[in-house]
Amino acid sequence: MAAESYLSRGVSPTKDDVKAAVKNQSKGVFPGAFCKLIEDVAGDEEYCTAIHADGAGTKSSVAYLMYKETGNYDWFKGLAQDSLVMNTDDLACAGVTKNLMLSNTIGRNAHLVDGKAIAKVIEGYDEVINKLKDLGIDIKMCGGETADVGDLVRTLIVDSTLVARAKRSDIVNAANIKPGNVIVGLASFGQATYEDSYNSGISSNGLTAARHLLLSKYYYENYKESFSDTISEDKAYCGKFRLTDNLPGTDITVGQGILSPTRTFLPVISRVLAAHKDEIYGIIHCTGGGQAKCRDFGHGLKYVKDNMFELPPIFKAIYESGDIPMKEMFQVFNCGHRIEFYCDESAKEDIMSIASSFNIGSRIIGHVEKSSDGNNNEVIVKYSGEEYLYN
């Protein structure tokens, strides 16, 4: 499953080489779950433990650019939510939603990113933790590490690690996804009741492609430190926008669109699991791999996605750059929905009702069938009269 416009910028969308490197490692106590779960650190056989790490990725490069263009350090704050939510929502897909313990690691080039920027990142962690607390989600900050690694990091990288214990009876194991399941997708864009402004839906995947396909050569010429010198000139910042330009179809700028904080679906997932745990066979977070992410879960399945959301404005703008085909769009970006519930027909309407109560759009994205050969998984995405196969 090649994705040339992503690979040409030094990023693998599917990380098949990484998967091959870890294929012989233990799959944990719930093989096939969305996250690896291990034996309980306290030795209780009714519990298991999750230790999960992820981060904001190259979104931090855009925060740096916005800071340089505006002089406003506040752009660094959202990176904390990006880094945290990429962990919380992965764990939520495995049914782990409570008593989360957080540690963070910030790597920076101290010549370019000063202490005021780091303070804003930490402030961002405090703000998102307090906001989630108001929504009934308890996260304890346990400290972290800030490293000056200018030889390795051009500007800034923000990573998080979460640790949690969970009852084994609460775990959602995506290995149980089966033919006949309905796929309910939750919109990544719009403004949820717990968000302060419109969210473009970009989240924290595909940002290398997004910024180089959207932003203009101005950034290549003026901010060499914001990208790798392994990227050829014709692939670096080849879009038509400045950060302060309007994002077509919205009331926000391109910079605000790219930096929209990654939406957490924890409040929705928690309520859905409380009401429909026995009717949920899997939850998939459409992050790395985009709409083909589900291919990695279950066995002998054909995932048919034939009722996708219309591309939100930021994804339309990326596609209209002309440098990325639609098939690759669905492989790199969430393209409008980031969480998928695989459930019985009996649960679908209430799942959508719960999402609506948070002002989050939802729809029946598709369904699951037995795969063509009954052994290997495949994904079919149907959109705007075209059909794209990932196998």
Residues 212-255: pLDDT tens digits? 999 999 999 999 999 999 999 999 999 999 999 999 999 999 99
Q: Which residues 6+ apart lie within 8 Å of 32 measured at CB?
A: 173, 174, 175, 176, 297, 298
We report the CATH number of the domain holding residue 353 as 3.90.650.10
Is residue 107 pLDDT above 60, yes or no? yes
- Residue range 275-299: average pLDDT? 97
Is residue 10 pLDDT above 60, yes or no? no
Contact by Cβ (8 Å): 321, 214:
yes
Contact by Cβ (8 Å): 157, 60:
yes
Measure CA of the first residue to CA of the last residue in the chain; give whole Å. 7
* pLDDT, position 48: 98
* pLDDT, position 1: 39
Helix axes 78-93, 59-70, angle to 10 degrees: 160
SS3 (DSSP) at 1: coil
**Which strand (E) or helix (H) includes residue 353?**
helix 345-357
User: How many folded domains does the chain comprise?
Assistant: 1
User: In the structure, what pLDDT confidence band is assigned to residue 362 with cuts at 50, 70 and 90?
Assistant: very high
- Residue range 73-96: average pLDDT? 98
Residue 228 per-residue DSSP state: -
Is residue 19 pLDDT above 60, yes or no? no
User: In the structure, what pLDDT confidence band is assigned to residue 8 with cuts at 50, 70 and 90?
Assistant: low
Contact by Cβ (8 Å): 209, 318:
yes
Residue 253 per-residue DSSP state: B
The pTM (predicted TM-score) of the whole model is 0.93
Q: Which two tokens stand for residue 68?
A: 């340089």
Residue 10 per-residue DSSP state: T
SS3 (DSSP) at 187: strand
Query: Which residue range is the domain that position 109 belongs to?
Result: 4-390
Per-residue pLDDT reduced to its tens digit, 305-330: 999 999 999 999 999 999 999 999 99
Of 215, 205, 202, 190, nearest to 258 (Cα)? 202
Q: Which two tokens stand for residue 102?
A: 């957080």
Q: Which two tokens stand for residue 129?
A: 């933790």
**Residue 106 burial (CB count, 10 A):** 26
Q: What is the mean pLDDT of the chain?
A: 94
Backbone angles phi, psi at 345, to 5 degrees: -55, -35
Alpha carbon 5 to chain centroid, angstroms: 19
Backbone angles phi, psi at 174, to 5 degrees: -65, -10
> What single letter denotes the amino acid at residue 34?
F
Is residue 356 pLDDT above 70, yes or no? yes
* pLDDT, position 26: 78
Q: What is the spatial distance between Cα 191 and Cα 131, in angstroms, rounded to a whole number?
A: 15
Sign of the four-CA dihedral 66, 67, 71, 74: positive
Instruction: Determine whether 102 is exposed, middle or buried from the number of CB atoms within 10 Å of its CB (0-12, 13-18, 19+).
Output: buried
